[in-house]
Amino acid sequence: MKLISWNVNGIRAILNKGFMGAFNKLDADIFALQETKCQVGQVELDLPGYYQFWHQADKKGYSGTAVFSKVEPINVRRSGIDFFDDNEGRILELEFDDFYFVNCYTPNSKRDLSRIPFRVDWEARMREYLSGLAKTKPVIYTGDLNVAHKEIDLANPDTNHKSAGFTDEERENFTFLLEAGFTDTFREKYPDKTDIYTWWSYITRARERNVGWRIDYFVVSNDIKDKIIDAAIHDDIMGSDHCPVELKIEI
């Protein structure tokens, strides 16, 4: 099974930047989007062979997630995920016969770090929720998780220890998730690979210079980590300030 996740930073904008070409080339069994920034009726995608599921934010032009799947899920949850009244369209969960697929656009801690307390609480509750799902069947958790876990995961770690996405609190909570029984699939396959990122600031031509961060993930519960075939980061695909990430897994 081939899975793709991509923060598109606005589905309507990226449709004019080669999205359908990339979508068809990647040919995923399940394709997850974050930051769709659209409401129902604002965009219609012709995706033959795919079931489409969207979760919009109440606020127009903000946040939002979507999942396109070749296999019809047995259940879909868009809001009210136990701990979070999701009016920002941040979580979209699909249940299949053999696993849960949870697509997430994690809240940013903000430039002034004013949202760190909320973020820490979010991470604790999300970890508890995912652990609960994993007691029933395996979990695949994906999305823009808004954290670079280790120094290897961003170009300039020394100058970013107090930046949103690389604070001690955020990194520690990603460690807690892994310790709770989950695996970062890319690092499982490529523990020492450097200079590979999934997001670049639009400022100062960061992508051209590859001054980036790895903040987009596929994380799986440990009971299926031995089924990981490969993980990839498609940093050659443009159109957003993020690039698609991939997981191949036998499940």
**Rounded Cα–Cα distance for residues 35 and 199 (Å):** 13
Residue 74: burial class (beta carbons within 10 Å; 0-12, 13-18, 19+): exposed
**Cα distance between the two ends of the chain:** 7
User: Using the 8-state DSSP alphabet, how is residue 8 labeled?
Assistant: -
222: tokens are 């440990």
97 is catalytic: no
**Rounded Cα–Cα distance for residues 151 and 203 (Å):** 21
Task: Tell me the pairing of strands 75-77 and 65-69.
Answer: unpaired
Q: Are 29 and 56 in contact (CB under 8 A)?
A: no
Query: Number of H helices and number of E strands within the chain?
Result: 5, 14
Out of 100, 105, 129, 141, which one is annotated catalytic? 105
C-alpha separations of 236 from 23, 26, 152, 215 in Å:
13, 12, 20, 17
Out of 86, 141, 144, 217, which one is annotated catalytic? 144
Amino acid letter, 243: C
Q: Are 72 and 44 in contact (CB under 8 A)?
A: no
105 is catalytic: yes
Residues known to be catalytic? 105, 144
